A and B are shown apart, each in its own frame.
Chain A
Amino acid sequence: SQKIEQNSEALNIQEGKTATLTCNYTNYSPAYLQWYRQDPGRGPVFLLLIRENEKEKRKERLKVTFDTTLKQSLFHITASQPADSATYLCALDTSNTGKLIFGQGTTLQVKP
């Protein structure tokens, strides 16, 4: 069956460090992969999209990598801040039709 896995345990890091979140998937050949941020009680907010033919994408302090051989994406936040504390979701479009399937998310806690 199709599956997306994100670390279910919360990630706790110190302010200023780099946070790295992992998204693994099986039985897909996604055209692209997206990352979202979700704060408690709110809807997810789109952060970044990376295509299957891109290895890496950056936006300010964010960096996403996409390894279609390993079937894995890594999401990095450099120089993390307490305001980065949230749940981060990865999502895949498995059929290039704009229909996303979401992972369960990893909660990041950045301590001052």
Chain B
Amino acid sequence: DVKVTQSSRYLVKRTGEKVFLECVQDMDHENMFWYRQDPGLGLRLIYFSYDVKMKEKGDIPEGYSVSREKKERFSLILESASTNQTSMYLCASTGGQGTNYGYTFGSGTRLTVV
């Protein structure tokens, strides 16, 4: 069964900490995405990547960075965690640009910054 795996389901971090959220997919997909989901705001795109070592800003990249050193792994980094980054973080992947395939999402990481 193909899947996207996020390393943690729940995470609690302190303000100012550097936080790494890991995402691995086993489908050999080129495209990977990081979203955050908040009540009343829906899913918002943070960063995405079309290939290894490539990254593009989404709609809300401030306070985040990403790393894609290998095709199957896409990491989201919170440089200095703040309470307004408390959220559900969702990683997704899909094959090819402009593809008519849907996204495959991970189960999500619920991050709380205290």
**Partner-B contacts on A (CB < 8 A):** 31-32, 34, 36, 41-47, 49, 51, 89, 93, 96-105
Contact = CB atoms under 8 A, between A and B. Distances in A.
Contact of B105 (A41, A45, A99): A45
Interface string B23-55: 000000001010100001111010010100000
Given A44-B90, A99-B48, 14 more contacts: A34-B102, A36-B103, A42-B107, A43-B4, A43-B90, A46-B103, A49-B102, A96-B97, A98-B50, A98-B94, A98-B96, A99-B45, A103-B42, A104-B40
B66 to A, nearest CB: 14
Contacts of B107: 42-43
A100 B103 contact: yes
B98 A31 contact: yes
Interface string B69-110: 000000000000000000000101010111111111111101
Given A104-B40, A104-B42, A97 B98 contact: yes
Interface of B: 4, 31, 33, 35, 40-43, 45, 48, 50, 58, 90, 92, 94, 96-108, 110
A102 B108 contact: no
Contact of B100 (A43, A51, A97): A51
A43 B42 contact: no
A43 B105 CA distance: 6
Contacts of B103: 34, 36, 44, 46, 100
Contact of B97 (A36, A98, A101, A102): A98
